[in-house]
Amino acid sequence: MEESVSVQLFKAMRRPTLVTDDRGVILEANPAFLSTFELDSAKAIGQHLTDFLEPLGNWKAAGVNGLSMTYRHSGASSLAPSGRLQINRYESSGNSGFFIFIDSGTAFEAEEILTALSYIVENFPHPILIWGKSAELLKYNDAAKQRFVAISDLFHLGQDRQVLLTAARDRGVFGTNNKEHSFDQVLQLQYVTDKERGPLINELQAPDGTWHRVTAYFSPDGWGASFYEDISELRRAQSELSTRTREFELILQNVPDFVVVADADFRVNYVNASYEEATSRTRDSWIGERCLPDEDGDDGNDLEEMFISATPDSPSISFDEWMRVEDGGRRWIRWRCRVLFDGGERSGMIKIGRDITVEYEQEQHLRQQSSELAKKNESLERFAAVVSHDLKAPLRHIAIFADMVVEEVGKEHYEQLPQFAKHIQNSAVRMDGVIKRLLEYSKVAYKTVSRHHVPLSDIVVQAVQNLESQVENARAEILASDLPYYFGDPDLLRQLFQNLIGNAVKYCRPGQRPRVRIYCARESGNLQIFVEDNGIGIDPRYADSIFTAFRRLHKDETVYDGFGIGLALCKQIVDSHLGSIRLDTSYKGGARFVIELPLKS
């Protein structure tokens, strides 16, 4: 028997469908129903509707136009436990009953989701356009309608995407100042459905100056959605930020201070131009380098440890450091550093360094000057005491012997007068000698040191030339070996050697030819100069006092004539070069003086 079209339709329907009588007894069940409930038709027909599922409502009240209600069931594993069914009443050739269309749960959920999505789209504050697979406008929301108001005549469901967007461009919904793509390209791109590439994102400016980010995404079938977002604020903030960043960068690049920024492991990720310049290295070459000081600080603290153990409460560390520069010089840098923390964790470090070489050197220079001044003051004080004593002693003698002369003459005793007069004479001569030596001393003591690079060997030769007659008379032998250049005052240094060589020649052992050796060595930043003779030597007890021995200017002249002033002058000269002089008491073959002169500066 040929099936009627309606029966064929019934069988072909994908929704599970039943035909019942008025009471709900099943008259027919379509294959979709049977397969969903895993039955064959014999088992279904004659059963009651409620044997398979339970409509939640008065299902018999269904009118011709149908009634939709929820059902529950437990019979079919492939079916969600609840769903909706639609009941239509029929009447045909005296029979009446119900068509019952069952929605599978999944279908119902999809419908629910669509309803929800639809609601969301409609109420979303930003414009959304949904495209069908033939690039037709499928759905839009109020926000979209407002945004596209300029083309409201074309803006309706079913409209072709290209028509719509081209009109939007032509009528100025958005400008054409997209930097990355021309508008046509944007359109073109939006037709390309490439899952791999992800969403298409473009930023467009509207004629009112506002900026909009368009995010479009298409399914492989060509379904799609475009989402418009007003990003004017964001762009303003970004542009503000990038302006500030540029300004900041410009400042950093132009400050004379060094700026080094490092990460949590103290590895450099930024240095400014001043630092690049000072270190003659490019920024790129610095990136990634660990930038902690590897030497201890002035106060002996382990600087690296200080950085590592910095806490958010004490994040700042300061230290001074020598830095080598390209021309081989050294610059003294004062660093101020701050370790950065983010939520208690170390997140980086900023180091700011200033070249304080000039200040440092000035400070050193001042310190040096004040130490020189202190030394000069000290020797001036000693000088004054010596003047007071050494001039007063003969003066006193003159006064007293003059007194005695007066007394003796008063008593008419004349026999002692020549003796008293002789004493007065001697005292005057002694005073004269003292004054001469003081003058000689003050010439050296108050001379301003004027330094030059001078060859010490030449200085020694000049000193020996000045002592020519003494050296020749004593047939002295002077040996000077390997003397370097020194940065000092040539006049004073010559005087120094002249005094030392002069003493050595003068205090020779009787009957022995004087031999003077001058040689030098370098030791820990100092130049050591040795002046050694084979003479009578100096008692070690006087090792210190010989250099301050003014008070013997006039005494013991029979033994140490002129000795005191010479060595005091030597000390004065060495002091003014910030060095030292001493008698090497361990040397027994004569006298050996050791002069130490600083090599730096």
Partner 1 sequence: MVVEDDPLDFGFFTTAFKEIPAQTELFNWPTVEGAVEEILQTACEIAVVDINLRDGSGIDVIREIRAHPRLGKMPLVALSSSVSDIDVSECYEAGVNAYVEKPLSMEKYRMFAKAFGTFWLESAVLPD
Contacts to partner 1 by CB under 8 A: 381, 384-385, 388-389, 392-393, 395-397, 399-400, 403-404, 407, 423, 541-542, 545, 551-552, 555-556
Let me know the angle formed at the C-alpha of 369 by 551 and 448, rounded to the nearest 5 degrees: 65
What is the nearest approach in angstroms of partner 1 to the Cβ of residue 410? Answer: 12
C-alpha 444/C-alpha 39 separation (Å) is 130
What is the nearest approach in angstroms of partner 1 to the Cβ of residue 432? Answer: 18
**Smaller CB separation from partner 1, 494 or 554:** 554
What is the nearest approach in angstroms of partner 1 to the Cβ of residue 541? Answer: 8
Q: Which amino acid is at 172?
A: G
What is the nearest approach in angstroms of partner 1 to the Cβ of residue 592? Answer: 22
What is the nearest approach in angstroms of partner 1 to the Cβ of residue 548? Answer: 11
DSSP 4: P
What is the nearest approach in angstroms of partner 1 to the Cβ of residue 429? Answer: 14
Question: Helices in 446-543 by DSSP H: which ranges?
Answer: 456-466, 468-474, 490-506
What is the nearest approach in angstroms of partner 1 to the Cβ of residue 395? Answer: 8
What is the nearest approach in angstroms of partner 1 to the Cβ of residue 441? Answer: 17
**Smaller CB separation from partner 1, 3 or 381:** 381
What is the nearest approach in angstroms of partner 1 to the Cβ of residue 392? Answer: 4
DSSP 336: E
**Smaller CB separation from partner 1, 476 or 546:** 546
* Contact (CB, 8 A) for 537 and 504: no
Cα-based torsion angle of the residue sequence 392, 395, 399, 400 in order, rounded to the nearest 10 degrees:
70
* Contact (CB, 8 A) for 542 and 564: no
The per-residue b/e assignment along 16-43, b for 16 or more CB within 10 angstroms, e otherwise, is bbbbbeeebebebbbebbbebbebeeee
**Smaller CB separation from partner 1, 105 or 537:** 537
Using DSSP's 3-state secondary structure scheme, residue 502 falls into helix
* Contact (CB, 8 A) for 353 and 334: yes
Q: By C-alpha distance, which of 384, 340, 330, 317 is closest to 361? A: 330
**Smaller CB separation from partner 1, 303 or 424:** 424
**Smaller CB separation from partner 1, 21 or 381:** 381
Using DSSP's 3-state secondary structure scheme, residue 311 falls into strand
* Contact (CB, 8 A) for 553 and 569: no
**Smaller CB separation from partner 1, 354 or 376:** 376
Contacts of 489 (CB under 8 A, 6+ apart): 447, 449, 450, 451, 452, 573, 576, 577
What is the nearest approach in angstroms of partner 1 to the Cβ of residue 420? Answer: 11
**Smaller CB separation from partner 1, 298 or 407:** 407
Cα-based torsion angle of the residue sequence 154, 159, 160, 164 in order, rounded to the nearest 10 degrees:
30
**Smaller CB separation from partner 1, 37 or 563:** 563
User: What is the full DSSP assignment across 250-276?
Assistant: HHHHH-SSEEEEEETTSBEEEE-HHHH
**Smaller CB separation from partner 1, 381 or 432:** 381
C-alpha 498/C-alpha 459 separation (Å) is 9
